Structure 1
Amino acid sequence: MSDAPVISVRGEALLEVEPEIARLSVQVQSQERDRRTALDRLVERNQQALDLVKSYGEAVEKLETGGLSITPLVRYRRREGDIRAYQGTVWIRIVVRDFTVLGELVTRLGDLERTAVHGPSWELRRDSPVHAEAARQAAQEAVARARSYADALGCRITGLVHLADENLGRGPEPFDAAPVAYAASAGVMMAAEEEPPPLDLEPETQTVRAAVEARFTATAPDLGRP
């Protein structure tokens, strides 16, 4: 085993960058006294929402259905079989890459009948080069810090013993936002047929953190200096 001195350090990096994607969660509902009618209304409203999202073409990176449910609503909980209505729900998940259409898309979705929109949740892609850049800067910080310690001791680093990625993450975490838009319920007429004005949405800055732990061998320190 080598008797060379070892300098252990921690390198850190923190980058603040603009998000790359925005996630929306859309909830489409129907509620009717008849099960089949509730299902038919749900199919119709779901298709309206999907057609609207698809009309934005490549501005939308991903569109997928998260789930579907048809639930009987009981009038009195103590009496089984007393069903007053059936409620249908479809969850739609959307990833938007072009933020210039995001505000318009949110308001148009929220203008659809019995449709709730949650979000946006601003994010970086998992394979974003920003993560690699943060790791690179953290490693450079570790080398610079080790050299600074070595210089203070009158020695120099000679080799790398260990380098470990301590933590590489992003903040803030996605949140479960309250609906930013909810359309009027059945039976309530819209005030006008024209499109609603788009929301002015400002992308949330993303914080990328990286930290590494490193150990370097060094020459013998000159501890005799005053």
Structure 2
Amino acid sequence: MQPAPESPRVVVLGEAVAEVLPDAADLVVTVQVHDRRRERALERLTGRQLELTALLEAHRAALGTVSTDAVAAFPEAGEGGRINGSVATTTTRARIADVGAAGELAVAVAALSDVSVHGPHWRVSREHPVHQQVRTAAVQDAIGRARAYATALGGRLTGLVEVRDVGGRGGRMAMAAFAVPGGAPALELQPAPQEVTGQVEVTFTMSVPDPEVFAR
């Protein structure tokens, strides 16, 4: 007995895009000090980092996680390449859960001595319902595309073989680095809408195409 012929398959990529306001942001803070003596540079760095930690703790209600990404200490070369001191630096990343407080926090941190700030980097959190919305819309897009292909071949969809998550992404917008000497002015930031995409690869079976399609 001859095995039954395998049903034709249609493989499509479904896509969906949505724009939403960000519900989270990242603030990257770099503390950098210079001193002729390495030990003194590290002592000053410790003091500045404690000031930063205290400030962030005072804004704990608006923050998510806070982590130190990097610590570095290295010689500082002057004219002619001669070593004339040491540089000590730390980089701290603060996740902001309350985007409405991003401007106030960024300015407060930038007002600290020996500190530079980069951000806020707006983002859409993983928990935001838009991610599920674009995934669902991507599947619907895949069904529509596959149905159109099957119809163009004189057939119809008959079943589902596989659904593969290709992934998605949430857009980000960065604010330039800045430092604020002296008194910190008020700064109101307007978060830009973020683009969130969803993609899914879906394989369907379809009925045997109409032979007349290929005879045209």
TM-score, with structure 1 as normaliser: 0.78
**Amino acid paired to 2:195:** T
Correspondent of 2:42 among 14, 26, 39: 39
Q: How many Å separate the matches in 1 of 2:5 and 2:140? A: 25
Shift of 1:11: 1.9
Q: Residues of 2 paired with 1:35 and 1:151: CA distance?
A: 74
Instruction: Show the counterpart of 2:191.
Output: 203
Structure 2 residue 62 is matched with structure 1 residue 63: no
* RMSD of aligned residue pairs (Cα, Å): 2.8
1:116-127 correspondence runs (5 A): 116-126=116-126
Counterpart code for 2:86: Y
Q: What does residue range 75-224 of structure 1 map to in structure 2 within 5 Å?
A: 75-77=78-80, 83-126=83-126, 128-151=128-151, 155-165=155-165, 167-172=166-171, 178-179=176-177, 181-184=178-181, 190=182, 195-220=183-208
Q: Return 197-206 or 133-142, whichever deviates more.
A: 197-206
Higher share of residues assigned helix = 2
Post-superposition shift, 1:222? 5.7
TM, length-normalised to structure 2: 0.81
What is the aligned partner in structure 1 of residue 12 from structure 2? Answer: 9
* Aligned CA distance change for structure 1 residues 182 and 158 (closer, same or farther; 3 Å): same
Report the Cα distance in structure 2 between the residues aligned to 1:67 and 1:153, rounded to whole angstroms.
58
* 8 A Cα contact 1:131 1:168, kept in partner: no
Say how many residue pairs are matched: 211
Give per-residue Cα distances to partners, 1:190-213, cap 9 Å, x unaligned.
3xxxx5223222223222222233
How far, CA to CA, are the matches of 2:157 and 2:47 in structure 1?
69
Residue 72 of structure 1 aligns with which residue? Answer: 75
Q: Give identity over the alignment, percent.
A: 36
Unaligned runs of at least 5 residues, structure 1: 185-189
Q: 1:63 to 1:131 in 2, by over 3 A?
A: same
